[in-house]
């Protein structure tokens, strides 16, 4: 009997992996994979359903099934920061997404960095941003690999060793991303996103009812035993830290190159609709947090808080079908981010680092080749680090946000500020990144405010001040980005659209 | 302004070089955009310090959730509705 249940528990994730591979590879038919524009940007014709799941499922990684319940379990109401920032995260994309997409279509951009580098007329900005991005992508995919290895080896009850359990799903990702590019990422993310949504809502509603007889009884019991657990603030997380984490995470959300560059895969209306519908995906954090809270009274004392959900699932005597589905959906959550990250890393490497840095004459075919093999090498590097290193899941993610978020002022400058200069961009980015690194690794951050937010303050100040003191090399060049990013009147028969102001 | 190169006649920037709206945006439309932007801000503010303080409480429970959690859910719903309404303002219909 044990064998039958193991067969089911391990069989469902395996089945999922095979289907994911097939669905991913199927995407190779939808765009020209031998050319960079097809491989990286899906020939700019991705529709609403796929874009919704690319952005949604990529943004929510293994963190959604491991880290987030862990926060609710270990840090209580502080975990609400995740719900808020994910819900607001794509709002800035409503403004800058269509603008970037229009410029991309007109001038052939497929990455965030080349847009910024072209505006600021700088040869080294794109390669530099590529290095920073890949520097963030590697730890990000390392996290996904470790999660995948842990989940898959747990599903097999240790039968599959950790190194192999991390290797198999990643090999599958590498295969479909290699052959199907962003279309492979997109189609597999539709499958993965649906699995994530269903598992989250099923478990999140089921656990509180089965363990406590309801959601409110669960919270009442927690409130009685641990009164501070349901309140934002100390002892779990200082309220300044909580608030600044929300703000910096929202500002950084679309600056992640693997999210930002997806605007080049689609058109204005699809992007805006995706942003509008995205909160429906983000609401899946509600049941996810409920799961974490459900562990508080029913499974006290779990040391590694990231493992609270697997712990609940494996100790509560669920039907093997539910357990198998859980493992498969968690794999899906990790893989849907990992494929997007690896694809973006390869693309950024080829376009921003190699092409803009050293080989301007590279054609689309050579570039696609470089992106594919760059992706493979980055996957191997990540695999190497995944098997050796050991850092807690969320702080690394939050730390990486801190560096990426520094791109924001530069991007806003592209669309709204003709007097922004190259000197301003460079000094701002440098100063802000240094401050972020300083408060992340060397000194404690003042007033419990997130290092990335201090960095952003410095980036914005220096960028503005230096731009004001220096002259734009070519105002017409700068104007071109502002005006070409706007819709041409009567372009698509609809109402004339104009730029909204970024709400931050 | 449809030409490759921007021409100076369409310049809409202020004296600091900041340029948010195009010439084709009417005053009424601009006002509407600012209102939408403000709705986002007002949805966000009660979730962070200092405005979160009066809402950072467990009771009353709504749909079983502590009050501060309900607040987060409401904020996300406001983002959803505000963006759909904004889209409908720009493109007449959301479903097409």
Query: Three-state SS string across A76-109, please?
Result: HHHHHHHHHHHHHCCHHHHHHHHHHHHHHHHHCC
The yes-or-no verdict on residue A119 having pLDDT over 80 is yes
Report the pLDDT averaged over residues A186-212: 90
Cβ-Cβ contacts under 8 Å, B61 against chain A: 216, 219-220
Instruction: Look at residue B77 and tell me whether its pLDDT is greater than 90.
Output: yes
Nearest neighbour of B2 by CB, restricted to A276, A283, A488: A488
Measured CA to CA, the distance from residue A97 to residue A90 in angstroms comes to 9
* pLDDT number for residue B8: 46
CB contact under 8 A, B65 and A282: no
Check B49 against A230: CB less than 8 A apart: no
Q: What is the mean pLDDT of residues A147-171?
A: 88
What's the pLDDT tens digit per position in A340-397?
999 999 999 999 898 888 888 888 888 899 999 999 999 998 888 888 766 544 455 5
The DSSP 8-state label assigned to residue A444 in this structure reads: P
Local confidence band at A280 (pLDDT 50, 70, 90 cut-offs): very high
Q: Which of B20, B43, B79 is facing A499, going by the closest CB pair?
A: B20
Q: How far apart are CA A424 and CA A420, in angstroms?
A: 7
pLDDT tens figures, B16-66? 888 888 878 888 888 999 999 999 999 999 998 888 888 888 889 999 899
Rounded Cα–Cα distance for residues A392 and A146 (Å): 11
**pLDDT-derived band of residue A2, with 50, 70 and 90 as boundaries?**
low
Q: Tell whether the model's pLDDT for residue A33 goes beyond 60.
A: yes
Q: Which residues of chain B have a CB within 8 Å of the CB of A496?
A: 24-25, 29
**Using CB atoms, which residue from A91, A240, A280 is nearest to B49?**
A240
Chain A residues whose beta carbon lies within 8 Å of the beta carbon of residue B72: 80, 83-84, 87
* Rounded-to-integer distance, Cα A191 and Cα A413, Å: 37
Structure tokens that stand for B29 in this block = 């439309």
Half-sphere exposure of A452 (CA within 13 A, CB side): 28
Residue B6: the pLDDT is 46
Instruction: Enter the pTM of the model.
Output: 0.88
Chain-wide mean pLDDT for chain A?
A: 86
When CB atoms are compared, the residue of B20, B61, B72 closest to A216 is B61
Q: For residue A220, which residues of chain B lie inside 8 Å, CB to CB?
A: 61
Give the mean pLDDT of A436-451.
Answer: 85
Closest CA to A498 of A141, A26, A95, A39: A95
* Local confidence band at A286 (pLDDT 50, 70, 90 cut-offs): very high
Quote the percentage of chain A above a pLDDT of 70: 93
Helix axes A112-119, A125-155, angle to 10 degrees: 170
Flag whether residue A283 sits within 8 Å of chain B, measured between CB atoms: yes
pLDDT attached to residue A303: 81
d(CA A144, CA A61): 7
Report ipTM (2 d.p.).
Answer: 0.88
The answer to whether B19 contacts A417, with C-beta atoms less than 8 Å apart, is yes
pLDDT computed for residue A405 by the predictor: 86
Q: Which residue of B has its CA nearest to A106?
A: B4
* Amino acid A395: pLDDT: 54
> DSSP of A137-181, one letter per residue?
HHHHHHHHHHHHHHHHHHHTTTSS-HHHHHHHHHHHHHHHHHHHH
Query: CA–CA separation, A488 vs A498, rounded Å?
Result: 10
Q: Does A87 touch chain B (CB under 8 A)?
A: yes
Q: Is the pLDDT of residue A471 over 60?
A: yes
Q: By the 8 A CB rule, do A490 and A442 touch?
A: no
Q: Which residues are paired to A253 by β-bridges?
A: none
pLDDT at position A314, please? Answer: 82
Give the per-residue pLDDT at A276. 94
**Phi and psi of B31, rounded to 5°?**
-60, -45
- Give the torsion sign (CA, B51, B52, B53, B57): positive
Q: Is B3 helix (H, G, I), strand (E, B) or coil?
A: coil
Confidence of residue A174 (pLDDT cuts 50, 70, 90): very high
Cα–Cα distance between A222 and A362 in angstroms, integer? 61
Using a CB–CB cutoff of 8 Å, tell me whether B73 touches chain A. yes
What is the arithmetic mean of pLDDT over A457-475? Answer: 91
Per DSSP, helices labelled H in A265-363 are 268-282, 285-298, 308-315, 320-348, 356-357
Which residue in A220, A243, A238 sits closest to A230, CA to CA?
A: A220
Q: What is the DSSP letter of A235?
A: T
**For residues A368 and A375, is the Cβ–Cβ distance under 8 A?**
no
**Are residues A113 and A346 in contact, defined by beta-carbon separation less than 8 angstroms?**
no
Cβ neighbours of residue B36 closer than 8 Å, sequence gap 6 or more: A500, B82, B85, B86, B89
Q: How far is CA A228 from the centre of its chain?
A: 31
| Percent of chain A clearing pLDDT 90 (strictly above) | 34
Nearest-Cα distance to chain B for A11, in Å, is: 36
- Name which of B25, B57, B91 is nearest A498 (Cβ-Cβ): B25
Average pLDDT over residues A67-93: 91
Model confidence at A139: pLDDT above 90: no
Nearest-angstrom CA–CA distance, A388 and A95: 41
**Phi, psi at B65, each rounded to 5°:** -95, 150
């Amino acid at each position: 009997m044990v064998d039958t249940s193991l067969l089911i528990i391990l069989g469902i994730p395996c089945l999922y992996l095979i289907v994911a591979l097939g669905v991913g590879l199927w995407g190779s038919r939808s765009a020209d994979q031998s050319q960079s524009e097809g491989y990286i940007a899906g020939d700019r014709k991705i529709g609403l359903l796929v874009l919704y799941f690319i952005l949604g499922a990529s943004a929510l990684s293994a963190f959604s099934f491991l880290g987030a319940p862990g926060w609710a379990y270990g840090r209580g109401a502080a975990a609400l920061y995740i719900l808020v920032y994910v819900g607001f995260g794509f709002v800035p994309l409503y403004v800058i997404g269509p603008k970037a997409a229009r410029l991309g279509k007109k001038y052939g951009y497929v990455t965030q960095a080349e847009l910024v580098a072209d505006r600021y007329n700088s040869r080294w900005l794109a390669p530099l941003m590529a290095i920073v991005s890949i520097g963030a992508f590697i730890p990000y995919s390392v996290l996904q690999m470790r999660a995948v290895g842990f989940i898959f080896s747990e599903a097999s009850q240790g039968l599959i060793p950790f190194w192999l359990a991390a290797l198999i799903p990643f090999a599958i990702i590498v295969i479909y991303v290699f052959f199907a590019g962003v279309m492979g990422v997109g189609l597999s993310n539709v499958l993965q996103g649906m699995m994530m949504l269903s598992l989250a809502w099923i478990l999140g509603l089921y656990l509180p009812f089965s363990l406590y007889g309801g959601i409110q009884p669960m919270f009442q019991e927690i409130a009685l035993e641990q009164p501070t657990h349901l309140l934002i603030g100390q002892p779990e997380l200082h309220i300044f830290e909580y608030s600044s984490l929300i703000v910096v995470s929202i500002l950084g959300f679309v600056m992640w190159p693997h999210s930002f560059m997806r605007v080049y895969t689609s058109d204005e209306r699809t992007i805006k609709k995706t942003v509008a519908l995205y909160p429906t995906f983000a609401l899946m954090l509600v049941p996810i947090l409920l799961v974490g809270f459900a562990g508080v009274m029913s499974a006290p004392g779990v040391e590694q808080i990231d493992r609270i959900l697997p712990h609940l699932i494996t100790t509560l005597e669920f039907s093997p079908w539910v357990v198998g589905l859980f493992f498969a959906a968690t794999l899906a959550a990790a893989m849907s981010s990992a494929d997007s990250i690896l694809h973006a890393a390869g693309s950024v490497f080829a376009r921003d680092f190699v092409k803009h840095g050293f080989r301007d004459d590279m054609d689309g075919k050579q570039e696609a080749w470089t992106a594919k093999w760059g992706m493979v090498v980055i996957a191997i590097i990540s695999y190497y680090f995944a098997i050796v290193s050991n850092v807690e899941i969320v702080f690394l993610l939050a730390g990486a946000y801190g560096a990426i978020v520094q791109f924001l002022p530069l991007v806003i400058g592209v669309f709204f500020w003709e007097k922004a200069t190259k000197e301003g961009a460079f000094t701002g980015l440098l100063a802000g990144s240094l401050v972020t690194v300083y408060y992340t690794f060397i000194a404690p951050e003042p007033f419990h405010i997130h290092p990335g937010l201090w960095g952003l303050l410095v980036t914005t100040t220096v960028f503005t001040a230096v731009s004001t003191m220096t002259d734009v090399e070519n105002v017409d060049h700068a104007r071109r980005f502002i005006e070409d990013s706007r819709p041409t009147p009567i372009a698509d028969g609809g109402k004339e659209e104009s730029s909204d102001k970024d709400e931050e | 302004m449809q030409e490759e190169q921007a021409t100076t006649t369409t310049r809409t920037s202020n004296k600091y070089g900041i340029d948010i709206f195009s010439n084709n945006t009417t005053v009424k439309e601009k006002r509407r955009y600012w209102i939408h932007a403000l709705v986002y801000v007002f949805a966000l503010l009660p979730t962070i310090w200092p405005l979160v303080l009066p809402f950072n409480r467990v009771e009353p429970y709504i749909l079983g959730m502590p009050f501060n959690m309900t607040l987060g859910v409401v904020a996300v719903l406001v983002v959803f509705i505000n963006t759909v309404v904004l889209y409908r303002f720009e493109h007449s219909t959301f479903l097409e």
